[in-house]
Amino acid sequence: MTNAPQAEITPEARMAQNIPIYVVNLDRRPDRLERIGDHLRARGVTFIRHSACDAQSADAARIDAVIAEYGPLGRLGLGDRACTVSHTEAWAAFLQTDAQFALFLEDDIYLAADLASAVMTSDWIPRGTEAVKLEKFNEGISKLLLGAQIGQTPSGRAIHPMRSRHVGGGAYILSRRGAELALSWRGKMRVPIDHFLFNDTVSPIRRALAASIIVPAMATQRAYAYNSDISGLGKAVRPKGWAKTWRKLKRGSAEINQAPRQIWQWATGQARIVEVEFAENPPK
């Protein structure tokens, strides 16, 4: 792990930042590091570059030691598995520090203008919340089942407990307890990192993390001049014939198992459907 250049950050800003930021970046993609580095420095924050596990060259044993090839989503692509390894290794690096929370970013993420205020203190993170999702996955608006607001960021964005899945692992905060819990599953993980953290239909720890999401979202993965490094290696392998039918049945069963709880929470007012989108600036 190496530190990215941070010359544009003043010593005062570096001292004030309470939540360290880890950026997962492949050694062979300095272009992506340059883009995210310029972006974060413009946002007034410091960061630590974490060398990613490269699906094109990593030893198979390194990947197998973290995540299985098969799971509830079917056979996983090598890119998704290597990406998951990268995140777990960044969590381990965080736990070697004294910080109580850390923000983990992928290098194609775009962050809102008020990012600095969110990482200068961790006092805004609700007690008992071990994971906070900053990212709105995909473009446009997503309708999510969320619990009542339990807090807000320093700039006034709402924090809601997640009651339905919303994937994407481009920007999220973990507490020390959350990172320790997640790492305790190293070697037993069977789904990609975003499903592991934020998809309660297949995650063994999502509820224990008490995962929450920021509304409106503070991060989004944008299409830059380059494409995803794992797109050709990455997503769950698409089976055909009976294997495809069987995978659909397994996924459907997982969704159905969550439905009674979600319907009850909605019917009793414990949760409601909320439209979530990315916003460059916080609400006024």
Average pLDDT over residues 79-104: 98
Q: What letter does residue 149 receive in the DSSP assignment?
A: -
Q: How far apart are CA 71 and CA 192, in angstroms?
A: 9
Per-domain residue ranges of the chain = 11-276
Task: Retrieve residue 44's tokens.
Answer: 């007034």
- What element of type H or E holds 36? helix 30-42
Task: Retrieve residue 89's tokens.
Answer: 């290794």
Provide the β-strand partners of residue 109.
Answer: 221
Band of residue 131 on the pLDDT scale cut at 50, 70, 90: very high
Q: Is pLDDT of 8 > 90?
A: no
CA-based angle 140:112:2, to the nearest 5?
115
- The letter for the amino acid at 55 is A
Q: How far apart are CA 35 and CA 101, in angstroms?
A: 25
Q: How far apart are CA 265 and CA 278, in angstroms?
A: 25
Q: Do the Cβ atoms of 228 and 112 come closer than 8 Å?
A: no
The pTM is what? Answer: 0.83
- Quick one: what percent of the chain has pLDDT higher than 70? 77
Alpha-carbon Rg of the chain, whole angstroms?
A: 18
- Write down the residue that tokens 């700039």 correspond to: 155
CA distances (Å), 60 to each of 33, 86, 89, in order?
Answer: 25, 14, 15
- Domain 11-276 belongs to what architecture? Alpha-Beta Complex (3.90)
pLDDT-wise least confident of 69-78, 142-151, 265-274:
265-274
- What element of type H or E holds 206? helix 206-209
Helix (H, G, I), strand (E, B) or coil at 110: strand
Reported as a single tens digit per residue, the pLDDT across 170-210 is 999 999 999 999 999 999 999 999 999 999 889 899 889 99
- Write down the residue that tokens 């037993």 correspond to: 188
Alpha helices in 96-205 (DSSP H): 115-119, 176-183, 193-198
- Quick one: what percent of the chain has pLDDT higher than 90? 66
The torsion angles phi and psi of 24, rounded to 5 degrees, stand at: -85, 120
Helix (H, G, I), strand (E, B) or coil at 165: coil
- What pLDDT score was predicted for residue 5? 35
Q: How far apart are CA 187 and CA 58, in angstroms?
A: 16
Q: Is pLDDT of 10 > 70?
A: no
